[in-house]
């Protein structure tokens, strides 16, 4: 279970999040919804250990989570294979087959430079890299933004299969809009 209590985050001295609390049971997904600038990415980056909170606690260490964002961190000068290897170093597990079953098109792109991938292919690669770490908590920032319907369906099917094994926090922007406050209320 993922337990977050009273997380507060500031940027340049300005409050971005204040006293955010929620629980996510194993196999559940928490989808953060809301307008731009409300703090969804900031919360995910904080949970991933990429940004320090000014207050609050999280009951799991950041190294137990994998973060894949819309700004995906893919190294464009490297091939798909090299990007996967880079993601694999966290576990030293180079058996990509279980992950690539979710995104079979990546198998045929292994020697292509990531800079030549489409936006949807890069998003698949970003999520595949995060999955290679086999984390108990998967943090996805706009996992289906700017992808076509086929890619969105593949990503959603992969996430549906994974929910049974890990906690999942997904900032979904294609869902109907609501505010972060509503997501927090639903998560309590």
Structure tokens at 20: 């955010």
pLDDT value, residue 72: 67
C-alpha to C-alpha distance for 8 and 5, rounded to whole angstroms = 9
Q: What angle do CA 10, 74, 183 make, to 5 degrees?
A: 40
C-alpha to C-alpha distance for 17 and 39, rounded to whole angstroms = 6
Is 0.85 topped by the overall pTM? no
The tens place of each residue's pLDDT in the chain, 188 residues long, gives 788 999 999 988 899 999 999 888 877 778 888 888 889 889 988 988 888 999 999 887 777 888 888 666 789 999 998 888 887 665 555 677 878 888 888 999 999 999 999 888 888 898 888 888 777 788 888 877 777 888 888 888 877 777 655 555 655 533 333 334 444 444 44
**Residue 168: half-sphere exposure toward Cβ, Cα within 13 Å:** 24
Long-range Cβ contact pairs of 160-165 (< 8 A, separation 24 or more): 161/102, 162/131, 162/138, 163/27, 163/28, 163/29, 164/27, 165/27
The SS3 call for residue 104 is: helix
pLDDT value, residue 93: 54
pLDDT value, residue 71: 63
Hey, how many other C-beta atoms are within 10 angstroms of the C-beta on 97? 8
C-alpha to C-alpha distance for 99 and 138, rounded to whole angstroms = 14
Q: Which domains does the chain have, with CATH numbers?
A: 2-187 (3.40.50.300)
Backbone angles phi, psi at 95, to 5 degrees: -85, 90
Ramachandran region of residue 102, left (φ > 0), alpha (ψ -120 to 50) or beta? Answer: alpha
């Amino acid at each position: 279970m993922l337990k977050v209590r009273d997380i507060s985050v500031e940027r340049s001295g300005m409050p971005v999040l204040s006293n955010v609390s929620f629980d996510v049971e194993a196999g559940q997904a928490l989808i953060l919804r809301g307008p731009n600038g409300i703090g969804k990415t900031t919360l995910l980056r904080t949970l991933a250990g990429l940004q320090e909170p000014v207050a609050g606690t999280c009951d799991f260490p950041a190294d137990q989570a994998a973060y894949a964002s819309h700004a995906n961190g893919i190294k464009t000068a490297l091939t798909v294979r090299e990007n996967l290897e880079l993601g694999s170093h966290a576990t030293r597990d180079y058996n990509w087959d279980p992950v690539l079953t979710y995104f079979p098109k990546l198998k045929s792109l292994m020697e292509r430079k990531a800079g030549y991938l489409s936006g949807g292919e890069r998003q698949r690669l970003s999520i595949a890299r995060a999955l290679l770490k086999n984390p108990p908590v998967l943090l996805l920032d706009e996992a289906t933004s700017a992808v076509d319907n086929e890619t969105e369906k593949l990503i959603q099917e992969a996430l549906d299969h994974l929910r049974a094994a890990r906690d999942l926090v997904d900032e979904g922007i294609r869902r109907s809009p609501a505010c972060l406050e509503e997501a927090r209320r639903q998560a309590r």
